Amino acid sequence: MITERGKSVYKGVAIGKISVHKSGEQPVKRVHVENIEAEKERFYAAKTKAQEQLKGLYDKALAEVGEANAAIFEVHQMMLDDDDYIESIINMIESQEINAEYAVASTGENFAAMFAAMDDAYMKERSADVKDISERVIKVLTGASDQSMTADEPVIIVADDLAPSETIQLDKSKVLAFVTRHGSTNSHTAILARMMNIPALIGVDYSDDWDGKLAIVDGFEGCIYVEPVKEILDKKEAVRQEELKKRELLQTLKGKENVTLDGQKINLYANIGSLSDVASVLQNDAGGIGLFRSEFLYLENSDYPTEEEQFQVYKQVAENMGGKKVIIRTLDIGADKQVDYFNMEHEENPALGYRAIRICLDRVEIFKTQLRALLRASMFGNISIMFPMIISVEEVQDIKKILEEVKAELKEASIPFKDVEIGVMIETPAAVMISDLLAKEVDFFSVGTNDLTQYTLAIDRQNPALESYPYFRVDHTAIMRMLKMIADNGHAGGCWVGICGELGANMDLLEDFLRMGYDELSVSPTFILPLREKVRNTSLK
């Protein structure tokens, strides 16, 4: 038996045969060409076909994993139109009189190395994307098929890493677990594992001769057992069966209240990134939507989404939720979410730069368009509006002035709307320290614990180099003290308070949140029923 450890990105136990996935990289030879113009045309034709393939992958991802996770394929389409990338390829074909395949491969390697050497975590991740799009163009040029991984039976996928295009083409019914040598907790593979509710490990040093062997992936312990002995196999199978029973039992909690043994209630809402995620919200019996990330509307478009386009989406989600609360966060781009047509300048530290509400207050017409759409949609359900990255009372006051201007414009045009609740995300230390003042301006607080932890602890949460030692401590004393301060100040000022970051799904801290008096937790839909079970078995006395 071989035992290897890694970092778990999703818990659970899977048992099955291993399928070692080899990278689809094509060996490319340097060939001298006589007809330069014809070779350039070959490249342009291949680029166009690659973009058509990516459009197909986007549509497939849209249906399976929602707009937010499908957006990467639109990013890839745009990257293929990057002037610097194209110019490098064309220059190599012209100056060196070489074949398009070799020019694409060389340019891909050069650009990938350039991105990998950057300090910014977002830009580092573009290294893998450049490799992915370059390999796609090479496959078109060589006539190689763009095949997905296939298997006759469900398998454990083991690989160096998986590109977005590889993960989305998988037959999900044939995947038991993911195990990769590289990647991070925010990689595409990790996101897919969470969406599919299957165990996944990263940072595992595997061997090619594992292919076809029986294995156990234990996402609870962060281990993979290859050719396990009977004792381990029996033990882990018992754990797996217990987990299956728990999932079945959780279904019996649908329709039940989120109330502790001593009578304290809490709302359990869901975080979503697209309209298609609403089905999961309803399936898991969430009490509402605590965070609807509206930026997918901007990420999936090649130009600014119109008021009507936004209105239709907000209206549909409000109607689908049948009167349950839907909290929609206004545009939150910048940092790790870049949109080309916004034409934002390069920043040395985008996480601390021009992003979220700062863009909205600077580009007021874009902001007003979204607010008009949101207010119009309020007539079709129970919509609340939430503003991200707040650091001052003045920002909130300016937001409220703009909101009143939009209301006046709608009234003048005889367009109906409701007065909606407004809230702010508490995700900076500054917002925590002035939460007593902010509470006088808004109806609710929602704590974005991911960014709050990052900014408070001075930790880049997307940097895998910081995962080996627990620097990113969600239960850090500083964070817990801040959470208590936010709850106390919010309630004193008449606000209800919630948590919408990943911390909200932490079972070990649930009792702490209840004791602090949090009114709401907003988590991924799959965590709703497990949290409900925990709440109903908790006593605060």
Write the pLDDT tens digit of every residue in 250-274: 788 888 999 999 999 999 999 988 7
Q: Is 427 annotated as a binding residue?
A: yes
Dihedral Cα 249, 254, 260, 263, nearest 10 deg: -140
362-389 pLDDT, tens digit per residue, is 889 999 999 999 999 999 999 999 999 9
Instruction: Give the C-alpha separation, 74 to 95, whole Å.
Output: 31
47-89 pLDDT, tens digit per residue, is 999 999 998 888 877 766 666 667 778 888 889 998 889 999 9
Tell me which residue has tokens 């395949």: 101
Residue 307 is predicted with a pLDDT of 93
Token digits of residue 302: 């090649």
Of 448, 427, 295, 421, residue with least CA distance to 366: 295
Q: Is 473 annotated as a binding residue?
A: no
Instruction: Give the C-alpha separation, 378 to 315, whole Å.
Output: 7
With the C-alpha atoms ordered 465, 208, 174, 24, is the resulting torsion angle positive or negative? positive
* Helix (H), strand (E), coil (C) string for 310-375: HHHHHHHHHHHCCCCEEEEECCCCECCECCHHHCCCCCCCHHHCCCCHHHHHHCHHHHHHHHHHHH
Q: Is 436 annotated as a binding residue?
A: no
Give the pLDDT band of residue 26 (cuts 50, 70, 90): low
Distances (CA, A) of 465 to 183, 461, 471: 11, 10, 10
Catalytic residues: 188, 500
Q: Is 329 annotated as a binding residue?
A: yes
User: CB of 367 within 8 A of CB of 422?
Assistant: no
Q: Is 271 annotated as a binding residue?
A: no
| pLDDT above 90 as % of the chain | 53
User: CB of 521 within 8 A of CB of 269?
Assistant: yes
Residue 2, φ and ψ in degrees, nearest 5 = -110, 135
pLDDT beyond 70 at 343: no
DSSP 90-158: HHHHHHH-B-HHHHHHHHHHHHHHHHHT-SSHHHHHHHHHHHHHHHHHHHHHHT---PPP--SS-EEEE
Residue 260 is predicted with a pLDDT of 95
Give the pLDDT band of residue 277 (cuts 50, 70, 90): confident
